[in-house]
C-alpha cells in the first residue's frame, strides 16, 4: 500500500478520513500514542492493538542516540525491530534537541548538541534528520523545524519561521534523493515513506499564514502545525489552528503536533485537524492521573482509599471492568509497575475511544452535539488535579 489520504465525510469544520500507509490504514481523526524509544511506556504492542491504536509516534532523537538508527536499519527497520506491524510516524528530533540536549547551538546548517545520555557531540541537519528517519523506516517522516524559544517577539518568530522554511526545502530535497535511491550510505527500510512539512510562526496569525503558504509550495504528503501547546492560552491555540488549517490542502492530512488534552483534541477536530499525538495519557497515567468522562481524577488521592467503584463508571476498558479505585490507589502507593500499566491502559482507551466517538459523530453529522455533550460531561464534577 502506498501513502494516501482521503476525506470520507465532513461535518462543519470537522472531517473524517482514511490515511493509507505502507503498513496499513489509519482512520482519522486519529490519536497517536507516543512510543518514545520504540515502546509505549507500560503497555505492550498487543495491548496497543487490543486498544485499537492504529498508528504510533516514535522519537527520532532518542532512537538515533540509542540504540542508533543504523542498528535499527540493520534489524530491518523500526516496525520489525519494535514488533509493531502497523503505521509509525517519527518526529524529526528537533523538539528533543531543544528540550533535552545540552550545549545546543543553532545555525543555518542545523542544530549542534550534546547527547543527554553520554555528552557526545552531534549535528542534526535537515538532511540528517531525513536520513535517520529513512533508516528507521517510519511511514511518515517529519521535516526538521526550528523550535522557537518562548516568549518570542514577532521579529524573532519571523526569523525562525523563515529558517524553518529553508530547512523544509532542504529536507524535501534530501527526501526525494532518498526516494530516488541516490542518497548514498542510507539504508532505506521503508521505500513508501511519506514526509510532512511543519508550519511555524508562533502566535502570529500573519506569520502562520505565510508559513503555511510557503510550506505548501515546497510540497509534502501532509502538513503539521508545530510550536503550539507550548504554554500559550488554549483560545490562542484554537485561533491559530482555525486560521492555519484552511490554508493547508484539503486533500492532505493535517497534524497538530503535541496536542493535547481531550478538550483540545475535540476543538482542533472542529477546526479541521486529522492527527494528534501527546504524552499526556501515558505520562500522566504513571503519575496517577486518570482521564475520565467526568474529568480528571488523581488516583493517589486519599478519598479513593476505600472506593470500590471503577475509575470511570462510563468506561469499558480492562482496567475499569476489573479493578477498583481502591486497588489502583494501593498499586501506585506501593510503587507497583502494574500501576503504570493499568492506568496507561485506561488513559489510552479514553483517548482512543474519544477519537472513535469523534469519527462516528462526524460520519453521522452529529459532531456538534457530541462536542457540546463532551465538554458538558467533563465539567460535571470538579477535577482532583
Q: Which is nearer to a copy of itself, 37 or 109 (CB)?
A: 37
3-state secondary structure of 227: coil
Is 336 a binding residue for a copy of itself by CB under 8 A? The answer is: yes
Catalytic residue among 91, 145, 274, 353: 91
Residues paired with residue 19 on neighbouring β-strands, in sequence order: 5, 26
Is 67 a binding residue for a copy of itself by CB under 8 A? The answer is: yes
How many Cβ atoms sit within 10 Å of the Cβ of residue 120? 9
User: Counting every residue, how long is the chain?
Assistant: 385
Interacting span for a copy of itself (CB under 8 A) from 126-134, 213-221, 315-323, 365-373: 315-323
3-state secondary structure of 9: strand
Q: And the C-alpha cell for 224? A: 503539521
Q: Is 206 a catalytic residue?
A: no
- Site for a copy of itself (CB under 8 A): which residue of 6, 8, 83, 150? 83
Distance CA 83, CA 92 (A): 22
Is 369 a binding residue for a copy of itself by CB under 8 A? The answer is: no
- Site for a copy of itself (CB under 8 A): which residue of 2, 6, 75, 381? 75
| Residue ranges in the chain assigned as alpha helix (H) | 45-51, 60-65, 69-74, 78-82, 94-99, 126-136, 154-180, 205-218, 234-244, 262-270, 280-286, 318-322, 325-333, 337-363, 367-378
- Site for a copy of itself (CB under 8 A): which residue of 43, 140, 148, 358? 43
Is 45 a binding residue for a copy of itself by CB under 8 A? The answer is: yes
Interacting span for a copy of itself (CB under 8 A) from 61-69, 134-142, 181-189, 190-198: 61-69
Distance CA 263, CA 385 (A): 16
Is 334 a binding residue for a copy of itself by CB under 8 A? The answer is: yes
Q: And the C-alpha cell for 95? A: 523538539
- Site for a copy of itself (CB under 8 A): which residue of 187, 188, 326, 373? 326
- Site for a copy of itself (CB under 8 A): which residue of 7, 25, 39, 100? 39
Q: Is 353 a catalytic residue?
A: no
Q: And the C-alpha cell for 143? A: 521535516
- In the complex, least distance from residue 316 CB atom to a copy of itself, rounded to whole angstroms: 14
- Site for a copy of itself (CB under 8 A): which residue of 74, 217, 303, 383? 74
Distance CA 325, CA 346 (A): 12
Is 327 a binding residue for a copy of itself by CB under 8 A? The answer is: yes
- In the complex, least distance from residue 319 CB atom to a copy of itself, rounded to whole angstroms: 9
Interacting span for a copy of itself (CB under 8 A) from 62-70, 125-133, 235-243, 268-276: 62-70
Q: Which is nearer to a copy of itself, 114 or 324 (CB)?
A: 324
Q: Which is nearer to a copy of itself, 59 or 244 (CB)?
A: 59
CA 132 to chain centre: 18
Distance CA 194, CA 250 (A): 17
Is 42 a binding residue for a copy of itself by CB under 8 A? The answer is: yes
Is 66 a binding residue for a copy of itself by CB under 8 A? The answer is: yes
Is 173 a binding residue for a copy of itself by CB under 8 A? The answer is: no
Whole-number Cα distances in Å, 75 to 16, 46, 354: 35, 20, 35
Is 379 a binding residue for a copy of itself by CB under 8 A? The answer is: no
How many Cβ atoms sit within 10 Å of the Cβ of residue 119? 10
Distance CA 300, CA 297 (A): 9
Is 333 a binding residue for a copy of itself by CB under 8 A? The answer is: yes
Nearest to 348 by CA among 381, 308, 318, 324: 318
The burial class, CB within 10 Å (0-12 / 13-18 / 19+), for 250 is: exposed
Please give the residue ranges that form the binding site for a copy of itself (CB under 8 A): 37-46, 62, 66-67, 71, 74-76, 81-83, 305-306, 308, 318, 322-324, 326-327, 329-331, 333-334, 336-338, 340-342
- Tell me the catalytic residues: 91, 277
Amino acid at each position: 500500500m502506498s501513502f494516501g489520504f482521503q476525506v470520507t465525510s465532513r461535518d462543519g469544520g470537522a472531517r473524517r478520513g482514511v490515511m493509507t500507509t505502507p503498513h496499513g490504514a489509519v482512520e482519522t481523526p486519529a490519536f497517536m500514542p507516543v512510543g518514545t524509544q520504540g515502546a509505549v511506556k507500560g503497555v505492550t504492542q498487543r495491548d496497543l492493538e487490543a486498544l485499537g491504536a492504529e498508528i504510533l509516534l516514535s522519537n527520532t532523537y532518542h532512537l538515533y542516540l540509542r540504540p542508533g538508527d543504523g542498528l535499527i536499519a540493520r534489524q530491518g527497520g523500526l516496525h520489525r525491530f519494535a514488533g509493531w506491524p502497523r503505521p509509525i510516524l517519527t518526529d524529526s528530533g528537533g523538539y528533543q534537541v531543544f528540550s533535552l540536549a545540552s550545549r545546543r547551538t543553532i545555525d543555518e546548517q542545523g542544530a549542534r548538541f550534546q547527547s543527554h545520555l553520554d555528552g557526545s557531540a552531534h549535528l542534526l541537519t535537515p538532511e540528517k534528520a531525513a536520513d535517520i528517519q529513512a533508516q528507521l523506516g517510519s511511514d511518515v517522516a517529519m521535516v526538521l523545524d526550528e523550535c522557537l524559544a518562548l516568549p518570542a517577539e514577532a521579529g524573532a518568530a519571523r526569523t525562525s519561521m523563515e529558517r524553518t522554511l529553508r530547512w523544509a526545502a532542504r529536507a524535501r530535497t534530501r527526501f526525494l534523493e532518498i526516494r530516488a535511491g541516490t542518497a548514498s550510505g542510507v539504508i532505506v527500510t521503508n521505500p513508501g515513506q511519506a514526509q510532512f512539512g511543519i508550519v511555524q510562526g508562533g502566535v502570529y496569525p500573519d506569520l502562520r499564514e505565510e508559513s503555511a503558504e510557503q510550506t505548501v509550495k515546497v510540497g509534502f504528503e501532509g502538513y503539521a502545525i508545530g510550536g503550539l501547546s507550548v504554554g500559550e492560552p488554549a483560545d490562542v491555540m484554537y485561533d491559530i489552528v482555525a486560521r492555519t488549517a484552511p490554508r493547508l490542502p484539503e486533500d492532505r492530512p493535517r497534524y497538530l503536533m503535541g496536542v493535547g488534552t481531550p478538550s483540545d483534541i475535540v476543538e482542533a477536530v472542529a477546526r479541521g485537524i486529522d492527527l494528534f499525538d501527546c504524552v499526556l495519557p501515558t505520562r500522566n497515567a504513571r503519575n496517577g492521573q486518570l482521564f475520565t468522562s467526568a474529568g480528571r481524577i488523581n488516583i493517589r488521592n486519599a478519598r479513593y482509599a476505600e472506593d470500590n467503584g471503577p475509575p470511570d463508571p462510563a468506561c469499558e476498558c480492562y482496567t475499569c471492568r476489573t479493578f477498583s479505585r481502591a486497588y489502583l490507589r494501593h498499586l501506585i502507593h506501593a510503587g507497583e509497575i502494574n500501576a503504570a500499566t493499568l492506568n496507561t491502559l485506561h488513559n489510552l482507551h479514553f483517548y482512543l475511544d474519544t477519537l472513535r466517538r469523534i469519527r462516528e459523530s462526524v460520519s453521522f453529522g452529529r459532531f456538534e452535539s457530541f462536542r457540546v455533550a463532551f465538554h458538558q460531561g467533563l465539567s460535571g464534577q470538579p477535577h482532583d488535579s
